[in-house]
Amino acid sequence: MRPQVVGAILRSRVIVNRQPLSRTRLCAAVTVAKSSSSSVQNSRRTFSSSLPRLHEPKAKITAEGLELSPPQAITDGKRTVLPNFWLRDNCRCTQCVNQDTLQRNFNTFAIPSDIHPTKVETTKENVTVQWSDNHTSTYPWPFLTSYLNTNTRFGHTENDQISLWGREIRSRPPTVSFSRVMGSSPDDLRGVADLTAMIKEFGFCFVKDTPHADPDVTRQLLERIAFIRVTHYGGFYDFTPDLAMADTAYTNLALPAHTDTTYFTEPAGLQAFHLLEHRAAPSSSPGTGSSENEGGEAAEGGKSLLVDGFNAARILESEDPKAYEILSTVRLPWHASGNAGITIAPDRMYPVLELDEDTGELHRVRWNNDDRGVVPFGEKFTPEEWYEAARKWDDILRRKSSELWVQLEPGKPLIFDNWRVLHGRSAFSGIRRICGGYINHDDFISRWRNTNYPRSEVLPRVTG
């Protein structure tokens, strides 16, 4: 069973079905955890919902295009006519689409601009059109109905459930076993489905019973999800607090809740930490020639901090709507400039809270005060107003009710969504050895889709 996520301020239920998780709904509630992921081989998740009562479908040729009356009744549709050229361009037959690559197989602009139907036939499943260029196209009603109802097919939302959480999740954090993720064979993806579904829902997951004598095993675990992203830090990392890179992550200092790689146009999607060991530092007494630990620093501290950024944003909008507006409006410079020869900045300035331009729902959290540049002067909000909004945000992130503190341990890697979950740590003494890596968000979502849903339902989501 998935963890039960029930907190003092997080009581009710939000489920993202066919409609996007709007800002209002996100700020109103939280889901409790659902049962464990369905396996790839067994009952799949589904994007579909039950259909309305059917009636006789109709299609009529008009000067503007095809006037359509689908078998499923439409009450508040956006249109009743689909244009001819658009329909012809979106023919998905074997001549028009390469069935191996699923890429368009013709030159759109070789289609006559005055293309029009010469004959139309309807069934309860499809509409078949004979075109004036002698081509025949067949369109499934679900495809046509989607564009009669909306401007884009299903938009960018997924039929998934997002569970917001605070410190109460500590009693049963989402966890899957290493053996299940690795599977009985490379093609056994049931555990990968569980892992990606938990990360998608909760924003993080532990993988218990992971071998830790060889860090390469952790690399193999991550690559069950997708390729490891290479940055100026390298690819798969294995480090101790030696300042090998000019970043506070390579020290033993405490780190407040933050997201990584705010300075990339597309920040890292998933991030993983596997504590391989935490040992006392050897004595540094001169002249002893000894490598014993006696007299060195004890291995203490170094707890890891996780904060659900989507939950923190929900609280912020509820308590201070203006602060939420400011942090989702004011765009800031972000940078990585500590290493010689490296000055990385995104393609443009980005706000702390990035909203989907079409739906207004929260899309990504980008927050690392250490990597933030100068707050700009704006027409709508002053720097002083931004600082006050950021102070409120910082307060929410530091509330005990927001913080999940965990002690990482060998054999139990942590993988989390860097677009949603902020992380930090307490200061520590001794030597900690950590391995892990980054994974692109698009690669993660692709793996999640394809291990949790039938391909027949995934394709319409990405092809339209």
Residue 282 has pLDDT above 60, yes or no: yes
Amino acid, res. 392: K
Q: Where does 261-371 have alpha helices with state H? A: 309-319, 321-329
Residue 25: pLDDT band by 50, 70, 90 thresholds?
Answer: very low
Helices 383-397 and 321-329 pack at an angle, to 10 degrees, of: 110
- Cα three-residue angle 232-238-243, rounded to 5 degrees: 65
Strand 175-177 relative to strand 204-208: parallel, antiparallel, unpaired?
A: parallel
Residue 216 has pLDDT above 50, yes or no: yes
Quote helix, strand, coil % in the chain, to nearest 5. 25, 25, 50
pLDDT at residue 43 in the model: 41
pLDDT at residue 208 in the model: 98
Amino acid, res. 447: R
The pLDDT > 90 percentage for the chain reads 68
Q: Which residue has the higher pLDDT, 301 or 350?
A: 350
Question: What radius of gyration do the chain's Cα atoms show?
Answer: 26
Residues 98, 119 contacting (CB under 8 angstroms): no
Residues 21, 162 contacting (CB under 8 angstroms): yes
- With b for 16 or more beta-carbon neighbours within 10 A and e for fewer, the 144-170 pattern comes to bbbbbbeeebbeebbbbbbbbbbbbbe
Residue 229 has pLDDT above 60, yes or no: yes
Residues 312, 367 contacting (CB under 8 angstroms): no
Strand, helix or coil for residue 464: coil
462 Cβ partners below 8 Å, 6+ apart?
Answer: none
d(CA 285, CA 308): 44
Mean pLDDT of 18-34: 33
Residues 210, 412 contacting (CB under 8 angstroms): yes
Half-sphere exposure at residue 82, Cβ-oriented, CA atoms within 13 angstroms: 25
User: Mean pLDDT for the chain?
Assistant: 85
Neighbours of 56 (CB within 10 A): 8
Q: What is the pLDDT of residues 103-128, one digit of tens each?
A: 999 999 999 999 999 999 999 999 99
Helices and strands: H and E segment counts in the chain:
11, 21
Residues 72, 54 contacting (CB under 8 angstroms): yes
Residue 90 has pLDDT above 70, yes or no: yes
Residue 27: pLDDT band by 50, 70, 90 thresholds?
Answer: very low
Q: What is the pLDDT of residues 422-433, one digit of tens each?
A: 999 999 888 899
Mean pLDDT of 370-378: 95
Please give the C-alpha separations between residue 279 and each of 214, 273, 380, 408, 430, in angstroms, as whole numbers.
17, 17, 52, 13, 6
Residues 222, 228 contacting (CB under 8 angstroms): yes
d(CA 72, CA 213): 58
Considering only CA atoms, which of 248, 252, 259 is closest in space to residue 307? Answer: 259
